Amino acid sequence: MRFASLGSGSKGNSTIIQSDNTCIMIDCGFSVKDCVRRLERLNKTPNDIDAILVTHEHSDHWKGVLPLATRYSIDIYITSGCLRASGLDANSYLGINLIDSHKAFKIGDIEVKPIPVPHDANEPVQFILQDANSRFGILTDVGSITPYIIEQYSGCNGLLLEANHDLQLLQSGSYPRFLKDRVGGQWGHLNNQQTADLLNVIDHSCIQQLVIGHISLSNNSKQLAKASIENVYKGAANIIYADQEEGFDWLHLSAL
Ligand SMILES: [Zn+2]
Ligand SMILES: [Zn+2]
């Protein structure tokens, strides 16, 4: 299995996971044109994508999903709460597959497990994807850590984890009060310290590739995230910091 990102942050997110015979996109917060351009960097076209999984309806994740899916006839997998929040119904597009946020399902040779998370969206989920050889987890847009998150994200080989903001920078920054409360609250985003703590409490012994993403351009920096996380987390894996514009290139997970 290998994974890559078309971009990561509040201006747009999209992650690609590729197994032996299946290619899955998680979210698409970019226009079709922008998405195609970004896919080219990874030597992919929309025709290579078997399915798009949707985490939640915020535009940095959802904006390009339906335009891309309808244009290239790609299946969409989405919770009913998220679909409702996006203003569509299951008949809006033939390729819509409603998922149970507590139930795993298969796409090709990949088992997809939705993980319900606390975030200020409608029935938001994150995902763990597993093939015969490895296990990849994505966890962004989550305001607080639940016991279920700790249990499920333990034992991943590849992990894309949010470190959205530096708490001090958020509090002293230019955001209006309501937005500071939203971003930093229980239903907002993880700060650097929460991310570092999470890495220490999950079983991180199997991590081969660790990426920190959804780093705020206003309330954080790669340097701040790196300093907070690498000060606390002593796991073996080298840490990559995802970029809003560049995402990150293919990262390979070797067989267990
Ligand atoms: Zn987001
Ligand atoms: Zn969000």
Closest Cα partner for 146 from 107, 114, 117, 104? 117
Residue 48 has pLDDT above 80, yes or no: yes
Report, as an integer, the average pLDDT of 38-50: 98
Report, as an integer, the average pLDDT of 226-244: 90
**What are the two backbone dihedrals, phi and then psi, of residue 135, each rounded to the nearest 5 degrees?**
-130, 125
Closest Cα partner for 29 from 15, 44, 48, 46? 15
Residue 47 has pLDDT above 70, yes or no: yes
Expressed in angstroms and rounded, the spacing between residue 216 Cα and the centre of ligand 1 is: 10
169 three-class SS: helix
Expressed in angstroms and rounded, the spacing between residue 60 Cα and the centre of ligand 1 is: 5
Q: What percent of the chain has pLDDT over 70?
A: 100
Model pLDDT, residue 221: 96
Ion ligand 1, residue ranges at CB < 5 A:
60, 141
DSSP code of 238? P
Residue 107 has pLDDT above 90, yes or no: yes
**Binning pLDDT at 50, 70 and 90, where does residue 4 land?**
very high
**Ligand nearest to the CA of residue 187, numbered in listed order:** 2
**pTM exceeding 0.95:** yes
Expressed in angstroms and rounded, the spacing between residue 132 Cα and the centre of ligand 2 is: 30
Q: What CATH number did the domain enclosing 119 receive?
A: 3.60.15.10
Average pLDDT, the chain: 96
What is the residue type of 39?
L
**Ligand nearest to the CA of residue 60, numbered in listed order:** 1
Domain that holds residue 59: 2-252
Residue 56 has pLDDT above 70, yes or no: yes
**Ligand nearest to the CA of residue 244, numbered in listed order:** 1
**Binning pLDDT at 50, 70 and 90, where does residue 236 land?**
confident
Expressed in angstroms and rounded, the spacing between residue 55 Cα and the centre of ligand 1 is: 9
How far apart, in whole angstroms, are the C-alpha atoms of residue 216 and residue 220? 5
Ion ligand 2, residue ranges at CB < 5 A:
58, 141
Expressed in angstroms and rounded, the spacing between residue 56 Cα and the centre of ligand 2 is: 7
How far apart, in whole angstroms, are the C-alpha atoms of residue 52 and residue 225? 29
**Ligand nearest to the CA of residue 183, numbered in listed order:** 2
**Ligand nearest to the CA of residue 188, numbered in listed order:** 2
**Binning pLDDT at 50, 70 and 90, where does residue 18 land?**
very high
Q: What percent of the chain has pLDDT over 90?
A: 93
Q: Determine the distance from the C-alpha atom of residue 136 to the mean position of all C-alpha atoms in its chain, rounded to a whole number.
A: 11
Model pLDDT, residue 256: 63
Model pLDDT, residue 234: 81
Question: How many independent structural domains does the chain possess?
Answer: 1
Expressed in angstroms and rounded, the spacing between residue 13 Cα and the centre of ligand 1 is: 7
Evaluate whether 67 touches 93 at the Cβ level (below 8 Å).
Answer: no
Burial (Cβ within 10 Å: 0-12, 13-18, ≥19) of residue 106: exposed
Report, as an integer, the average pLDDT of 133-161: 97
Residue 76 has pLDDT above 90, yes or no: yes
Residue 237 has pLDDT above 80, yes or no: no
Expressed in angstroms and rounded, the spacing between residue 23 Cα and the centre of ligand 1 is: 22
